[in-house]
Amino acid sequence: MLHRPLAGLLLPLALLLGACGGSGDEQLTGAVLDQPYAVPDTALTDTDGAAYSLAADTDKRLTLVFFGYTHCPDICQVVMATLASAVTRLDDADRDNVDVVFVTTDPERDTATVLRGYLDHIDPDFVGLTGPLADVVSVADGLHIGVEQGEKLPSGGYDITHGTSVLGIDGKDQVPIVWSQETSATQYAADIHQLLS
């Protein structure tokens, strides 16, 4: 991952996040990338069955994206619950300018129905995306997120190895900021407010 410490990035931050309106006056928790990732335009499928591209169909000023799966035994549920909690901390103006997208890394088991049910228990407004595994991997690779099917478990299922970063897509279809799995709801909310200010 290409990033540098946030100290000393105040002026570049203002330039990188211009589409989000970030002032750069305060330090962000997320890691600001030296070279923002370009968002691939490969279309996946949302839980209504419609084509959805992270480049073409993210129309909010800021879209937070996480790659995971509904059978994930640990980190996915924690990250998604943290994002849901962060959203509840936003004022109405900020909330109206943010989307959260969950891209399944396990499309074989995460059908549209399974994915929608999972997200409805977290936040019904969250967008769920699925699609052929090759397409999911292609999009993930373009965003520097590793996705790999693990070995079969004795239970008959299998683990999916995937990156645990949350990506921030701006209005220019770029990812200038990335958050780690340790980011708290309070930190997300503060960063989102700053980026949208």
In whole angstroms, what is the distance from residue 63 CA to residue 98 CA? 6
Q: Are 32 and 9 in contact (CB under 8 A)?
A: yes
125 CB contacts (<8 Å, ≥6 apart)? Answer: 87, 100
162 is in an annotated binding site: yes
Name the residue with tokens 């990812």: 175
Q: Are 135 and 28 in contact (CB under 8 A)?
A: no
76 is in an annotated binding site: yes
In whole angstroms, what is the distance from residue 90 CA to residue 87 CA? 5
**Tokens at 137, concatenated:** 């991997």
Name the residue with tokens 């929608």: 116
Q: Which residues are annotated as a binding site?
A: 72, 76, 162
Q: Which residues are annotated as a binding site for Cu cation?
A: 72, 76, 162
